[in-house]
Amino acid sequence: MKRLMLAVALLTLFGSQGFAANDSQKFTLTVAPTLTITAPADVPKTHDTTDANQAFDPQNWAVTCNNGAGATVAFSITTFSNGSAVRDSSLTVSVASSDQATANWQVTTVGAQSTDNVNSVNTATVNADSDGPGNATFTVNVTFIDSDYSVLPAGDYVATVTGTLTAK
């Protein structure tokens, strides 16, 4: 019984002094900024020998942005040229898919934009933007504009689409 009373006395004595310890540790994860745009492979096409404009198959471009305010993307196209002959081009862009839960991606340039070689307008641009971070896929449509195949000089006509992604 004396031992039990001694144990209770010791527990009471040491327990009432409030032995405790406290410390903390922080965990930090750094997220690097991401801003990428990826073009598909180059696209060849053979003219169908009609007097109609020549539309290329739609192409999907991928963009990624984790900037909190979102991003702006500009798609520009040059005229078609084979070195000596130049023909106009047309460009349209639409949103194929996006992370709508985090960002609203939308095309801000309405309708097709075309070059106008006669008036020295050698590029056409379509713009889109987002209001937050997120990925999107844009469908890019390119058309070779010409209405008279019989006067079209032979050769490979090349136009270049350039996509420029900028964080807001």
Among 160, 94, 106, CA closest to 132 = 106
Question: Does the pLDDT at position 1 exceed 90?
Answer: no
> Per residue in 107-120, pLDDT tens?
999 899 999 999 99
Domain ranges of the chain: 33-42+52-167
Tell me, what's the pLDDT at 3?
55
The model scores a pTM over 0.85: no
Indicate whether 19 pLDDT > 90. Answer: no
Burial of 167 (0-12, 13-18, 19+ CB in 10 A): middle
pLDDT at 6: 46
Kindly write down the DSSP assignment for every residue of 20-39, as one continuous string.
---------------EEEE-
pLDDT of residue 109: 93
Give the CATH fold of the 33-42+52-167 domain.
Immunoglobulin-like (2.60.40)
Return all residues near 135 (Cβ < 8 A) that are at least 6 apart.
Answer: 62, 63, 64, 65, 98, 99
Beta strands in the chain (DSSP E): 35-38, 54-55, 59-65, 71-78, 80-81, 86-87, 89-98, 106-107, 113-114, 123-129, 134-144, 161-167
The predicted-structure confidence for 34-93, as pLDDT tens digits, reads as follows 999 999 999 999 999 999 999 999 999 999 999 999 999 999 999 999 998 999 999 999
As beta bridge partners, residue 77 has 124, 161
What digits encode the pLDDT tens for the residues 123-164?
999 999 999 999 999 999 999 999 999 999 999 999 999 999
